[in-house]
């Protein structure tokens, strides 16, 4: 498949469907081999058409990160949707409507949240978020009693269908390489094992874990019933730097036209800024870098161009440092293909709009 | 005017129309007093309805930062639109269509860009961007000859109507207080004065300058024909820290529901993350902070709550540090009102959707 670069005005998100579908398939095969279910997190792509690459919506359980996103995918045919962020009591009417249409899962992490669950009029699955070391949301794995208390209370609510525990080892994003990822993976699952014996009817709980680094690099998920990675469909520069993927796995990049050339400072400026790339970054020698320029090919893009990086973003401008030899060859209006630090935020900025190649 | 907080599910952008309209009026009065035209930059709000607060679209010249944004405002009735970012040769068809409908201004900064101007079929104004010290885009003010050469060439293109110079002292964003802002303001305008005598028919050039810090705090713009600030309609925490505005001028905040409470670490988590606030930040004691919590009032919000700040954002989660006394009073589902570091990126993330109070 080739791409007609002349038709791209930019800035534009490009999705390499071959790579993305390979990433999807690889994770499906891993889940089968590891004997866990796979519930891909759809916050990464936020696209109904890309969502269908994961399989038939009616039989593909998914995770999302807001009631609005659940609504979008429910309306498009997905039937089993877990909102994997602690519930917002103000969204009760939205949850109620969703629960009347699909198998809805909600996430809680306090006694207080149960009053929202109680007020629902339809059946829901309820997951208690457990913090096994990340330190963002969830109840600490050490708080056995509180978790047990919530479970007991939740079991008494007639319309609570399945009960579960939800873990997200987001601290794996600070890891480097398989050894670092494995440490966090094992620590997280070990803490789950410490917790379980303290919980009533623990064997009936559905255990959902997942994040892209551990799901990409680890092969066993002892104690888990399902894995819940999201970013792996595209990956990005942060994941490549963590060691969660290879350059050849990255399935999303931005094509940005050059609008300024500055030989005296070894830079070009592209149309493509914070509203396209986000301001998320990779730490390169202690400095924030927002994207890595890759080789443009007939069918998409190849590996990274050494020394060519997106070093600054304002609202619509992107400042790119380029090696002198490359700079001499560049003209106004040429496209640079740039892999962003964080693909999820890019797709959210573009509301899922992209050119699929 | 009061706001019904119960109807807000969040995360939601709130715009205080009274403050925004006062900010608009103040800048209009300043432009009149300084005897310069005002061309507000509409990239900040990206909203047709808020755009109308600036006056009648047919008689309000505006700046925008992309051909797409120009299209949106042209379709809604604005007649004089300057695209204040160096032109993208790939957008030629869009420029042509715009130039057939409105008084279009384009920005260039190279001889190469003139070939796009030559290929237009309709009249345009052409601004040469001059870099007077910011170091992002534009031709250095020292490069008299190059600027003169482009002007001479551009004058020979029959459909070039008005010629001008465009400056943006974006380095004022690193200034602190009136003295720091004044330094950059004077340096920038001094460099313009150094340049002008070297240019052919300099007196015929339209000089457009502007950025929110200098336009907010300075009172004279010697040598300029028009000022072009944008952010001032809302301001934000970064502007308050620069000294460009007071807390009471900030006209945009986000209402975010609390979804997690963590007394043991003095934090709450709100639904409201990088896709709402962006990852732009203020440097607080060397650390990135993404927003400042403010007092909620019946009619909107008041001043900052000391010690209550948005210290972390992931895709949809925001981690907020709160003082102990405040934390004790908070319940799940309560709203926090948070002034973002950078309001322009927030409005772009929400595609201009907001609750006007």
Average pLDDT over residues A309-336: 97
User: Which chain A residues touch B90 with a CB distance below 8 Å?
Assistant: 8-10, 257, 333
Q: What is the pLDDT of residues A247-257, one digit of tens each?
A: 999 999 999 99
User: Which chain B residues touch A87 with a CB distance below 8 Å?
Assistant: 259
CB B320 within 8 A of CB B310: yes
Q: What is the model's pLDDT at position B171?
A: 87
Q: What is the pLDDT of residues B296-325, one digit of tens each?
A: 999 999 999 999 999 999 999 999 999 999
Both structure tokens of B205 = 């050039």
Distance CA B104, CA B87 (A): 12
Q: Which residue of A has its CA nearest to B263?
A: A139
Which of A5, A7, A9 should be substituted to probe chain B, the one whose Cβ sees the most B Cβ atoms within 10 Å?
A: A9
Report whether pLDDT(B1) > 70: no
Query: How far A42 CA lies from chain B's nearest CA (Å)?
Result: 12
Which of B228, B314, B347, B350 should be substituted to probe chain A, the one whose Cβ sees the most A Cβ atoms within 10 Å?
A: B314
State whether A10 and B351 contact (CB < 8 Å).
no
CB B289 within 8 A of CB B357: no
CA distances from A176 to A74, A244, A340, B164 (A): 36, 9, 19, 51
State whether B90 and A332 contact (CB < 8 Å).
no
Q: What is the model's pLDDT at position A1?
A: 63
Q: What's the mean per-residue pLDDT of chain A?
A: 96
CA distances from A83 to A50, A127, A128 (A): 19, 9, 12
State whether B271 and A331 contact (CB < 8 Å).
no
Q: Is B286 helix (H, G, I), strand (E, B) or coil?
A: coil
In this structure, how many other beta carbons lie within 10 angstroms of the beta carbon of residue A30?
A: 20
Indicate the CATH number of A18-234 among 3.40.50.720, 3.40.50.150, 3.20.20.10, 3.40.50.1220.
3.20.20.10
Angle between helices B92-101 and B111-119 (to 10 degrees): 60
Query: How far A9 CA lies from chain B's nearest CA (Å)?
Result: 5
User: Which chain A residues touch B113 with a CB distance below 8 Å?
Assistant: 332
Whose CA is closest to A193, among A182, A180, A176, A205?
Answer: A205
Vertex B248, ends B245 and B252: CA angle to 5°? Answer: 85
Both structure tokens of B286 = 């060397």
Distance CA B178, CA B161 (A): 37
Report whether pLDDT(A166) > 90: yes
Average pLDDT over residues A193-215: 96
Beta bridge mates, A253: A14
Distance CA B293, CA B340 (A): 9
State whether A89 and B333 contact (CB < 8 Å).
yes
CATH architecture classification, A5-12+251-356: Beta Barrel (2.40)
CB B124 within 8 A of CB B89: no
Query: How far B209 CA lies from chain A's nearest CA (Å)?
Result: 18
Whose CA is closest to B16, among B25, B29, B3, B5?
Answer: B3
Burial of B130 (0-12, 13-18, 19+ CB in 10 A): buried
Q: What is the model's pLDDT at position A201?
A: 96
Q: How far apart are the first and last CA of chain A?
A: 7
Q: Which residue of B has its CA nearest to A350?
A: B349
State whether A90 and B274 contact (CB < 8 Å).
no
Q: How many interface pairs between A and B have CB atoms less than 8 angstroms apart?
A: 138
State whether A316 and B136 contact (CB < 8 Å).
no
State whether B110 and A9 contact (CB < 8 Å).
no
Report whether pLDDT(B356) > 80: yes
Which residue among A8, A90, A269 places its CB closest to the CB of B136?
A269
Query: How far B287 CA lies from chain A's nearest CA (Å)?
Result: 14
Which residue among A91, A94, A274 places its CB closest to the CB of B345?
A274
In chain B, where the domains are located: 5-12+251-356, 18-234
Distance CA B190, CA A15 (A): 47
Report whether pLDDT(A333) > 80: yes
User: Which chain B residues touch A259 with a CB distance below 8 Å?
Assistant: 85-88, 137
Distance CA A236, CA A218 (A): 18
Query: How far A33 CA lies from chain B's nearest CA (Å)?
Result: 30
Query: How far A205 CA lies from chain B's nearest CA (Å)?
Result: 22
Distance CA A309, CA A277 (A): 13
Q: What is the pLDDT of residues B154-191, one digit of tens each?
A: 999 999 999 999 999 888 888 899 999 999 999 999 99
CB B229 within 8 A of CB B209: no
Which residue among A269, A274, A348 places its CB closest to the CB of B275?
A348
Q: Which residue of A has its CA nearest to B138?
A: A260
State whether A312 and B66 contact (CB < 8 Å).
no
Query: How far B94 CA lies from chain A's nearest CA (Å)?
Result: 10
Instruction: Count H helices and E strands in chain B, helices first.
Output: 12, 19
Query: How far A322 CA lies from chain B's nearest CA (Å)?
Result: 15
Distance CA B5, CA A220 (A): 47
State whether B9 and A94 contact (CB < 8 Å).
yes
Taking the model in full, what pTM does it have?
0.96
User: Which chain A residues touch B349 with a CB distance below 8 Å?
Assistant: 275, 348-349
**Backbone φ and ψ of B168, nearest 5°:** -140, 110
ipTM: 0.95
Whose CA is closest to A348, among B234, B354, B273?
Answer: B273
CB B15 within 8 A of CB B354: yes
User: Which chain A residues touch B269 with a CB distance below 8 Å?
Assistant: 86, 136-137
Q: What is the pLDDT of residues B9-64, one digit of tens each?
A: 989 999 999 999 999 999 999 999 999 999 999 999 999 999 999 999 999 999 99
Which residue among A136, A281, A351 places its CB closest to the CB of B269?
A136
Q: What is the pLDDT of residues A261-306, one digit of tens each?
A: 999 999 999 999 999 999 999 999 999 999 999 999 999 999 999 9
Q: What is the pLDDT of residues A104-114, one digit of tens each?
A: 999 999 999 99
Q: What is the pLDDT of residues A173-184, one digit of tens each?
A: 888 999 999 999
State whether B88 and A333 contact (CB < 8 Å).
yes
State whether A333 and B269 contact (CB < 8 Å).
no
Q: Which residue of B has its CA nearest to A351?
A: B349
Instruction: Count Cβ neighbours within 10 Å for each residue of A219-236 and write b for 16 or more, e otherwise.
Output: eebebbbbbbbbbbbbbb
Q: Is B21 helix (H, G, I), strand (E, B) or coil?
A: helix
In this structure, how many other beta carbons lie within 10 angstroms of the beta carbon of residue A174?
A: 11
State whether A109 and B260 contact (CB < 8 Å).
yes
Instruction: Count Cβ neighbours within 10 Å for each residue of B238-264 and write b for 16 or more, e otherwise.
Output: bbbbbbbbeeebbbbbbbbbbbbbbee
Q: What is the pLDDT of residues B182-236, one digit of tens each?
A: 999 999 999 999 999 999 999 999 999 999 999 999 999 999 999 999 999 999 9
Given the DSSP bridges, would you call strands A317-321 and A300-313 parallel, antiparallel or unpaired?
antiparallel
State whether A279 and B275 contact (CB < 8 Å).
no
Q: Which residue of B has its CA nearest to A6?
A: B90
Both structure tokens of A64 = 């999302």
CA distances from A133 to A9, A188, A234 (A): 44, 7, 26
Which of A42, A43, A90 should be substituted to probe chain B, the one whose Cβ sees the most B Cβ atoms within 10 Å?
A: A90
User: Which chain B residues touch A66 with a CB distance below 8 Å?
Assistant: 271, 316
Query: How far B259 CA lies from chain A's nearest CA (Å)?
Result: 6
Q: What is the model's pLDDT at position A173?
A: 86
């Amino acid at each position: 498949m080739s791409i007609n670069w002349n038709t791209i005005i930019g800035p534009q998100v490009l999705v390499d469907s071959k790579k993305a579908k390979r990433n999807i398939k690889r994770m499906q095969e891993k889940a089968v081999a590891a004997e866990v279910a796979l519930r891909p997190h759809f916050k990464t792509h936020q696209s109904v058409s890309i969502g269908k690459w994961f399989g038939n919506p009616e039989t593909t359980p998914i995770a999302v990160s807001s009631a609005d996103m659940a609504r979008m995918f429910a309306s498009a045919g997905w039937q089993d949707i877990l909102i994997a962020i602690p519930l917002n009591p103000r969204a009760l009417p939205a949850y109620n409507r969703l629960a009347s249409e699909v198998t809805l899962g909600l996430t809680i992490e306090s006694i207080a949240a149960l009053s929202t669950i109680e007020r629902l009029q339809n059946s829901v699955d309820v997951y208690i978020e457990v913090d096994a070391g990340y330190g963002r949301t969830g109840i600490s794995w050490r708080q056995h009693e509180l978790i047990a208390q919530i479970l007991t209370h939740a079991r008494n609510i007639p319309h609570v269908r399945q009960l579960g525990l939800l873990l997200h080892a987001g601290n794996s994003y600070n890891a480097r390489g398989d050894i670092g990822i494995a440490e966090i993976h094992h620590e997280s699952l070990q803490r789950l094992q410490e917790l379980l014996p303290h919980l009533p009817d623990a064997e009936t709980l559905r255990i959902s874990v997942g994040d892209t680094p551990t799901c990409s690099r680890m092969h066993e998920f002892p104690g888990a019933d399902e894995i819940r990675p999201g970013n792996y469909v595209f990956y990005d520069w942060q994941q490549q730097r963590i060691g969660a993927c290879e350059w050849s796995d990255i399935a999303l990049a931005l094509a940005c036209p050059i609008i300024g050339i500055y030989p005296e400072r070894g830079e070009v400026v592209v149309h493509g800024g914070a509203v396209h790339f986000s301001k998320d970054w990779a730490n390169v020698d202690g400095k924030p870098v927002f994207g890595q320029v890759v080789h443009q090919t007939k069918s998409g893009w190849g590996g990274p161009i050494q020394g060519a990086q997106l070093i600054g973003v304002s609202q619509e401008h992107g400042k790119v440092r380029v090696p002198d030899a490359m700079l001499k060859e560049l003209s106004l209006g040429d496209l640079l293909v740039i892999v962003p630090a964080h693909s999820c935020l890019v797709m959210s900025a573009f509301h899922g709009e992209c050119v699929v190649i």
